[in-house]
Amino acid sequence: MNSARGTTMVLTTHQMDEAEQMSHRIAFLRDGRIVRVGESDELKQSIGFQEQIIIRGQGLAAAPEALGHLPGVFDIRSISGNRVSCRVDSREKRLSMVLEAVLGAGAVLEDLEMVEPTLEDVFVALASQPDPD
């Protein structure tokens, strides 16, 4: 609406989902300075986070070790006895390898969920970076 008029509105919020829904471009500030600005997808890509795979099933105890040997698979976590998560550098390249490793480790798959990075992930990544000064 405002871009058609050539105007800019500034919205300040700590609610990342609100910022994503209401804004075309988003700026992150730290100590009063803009540290990153862009469209939502650009910002998500800029921090290098990739999709998270969450696997739910039975017999997942050996899955984290099996996943640990795969290239492009990182941040492997056993969430509970029946859930394991990991991040991948490419869904297209890694999903079949992840499934083969989990099934090969004796798991019975009940559910698989792909979770894309969020603006909250961007916020946390930028907030945890060392001060540029």
Q: What is the pLDDT of residues 55-109, one digit of tens each?
A: 999 999 999 999 999 999 989 999 888 999 999 988 888 999 999 999 999 999 9
The CATH fold assigned to 52-115 is: Alpha-Beta Plaits (3.30.70)
Helix segments in the chain, DSSP class H: 2-5, 16-22, 40-46, 63-67, 91-104, 119-128
Residue 5 carries which DSSP code? H
The whole model's pTM is what?
0.68
Can you tell me the distance from the alpha carbon of 88 to that of 72, in angstroms, rounded to the nearest whole number? 6
pLDDT at 2: 57
pLDDT at 1: 47
Domain boundaries, the chain: 2-46+119-128, 52-115
Task: Supply the mean pLDDT for the chain.
Answer: 88
Q: What is the pLDDT of residues 17-45, one digit of tens each?
A: 888 888 889 999 988 899 999 999 899 88
SS3 57: strand
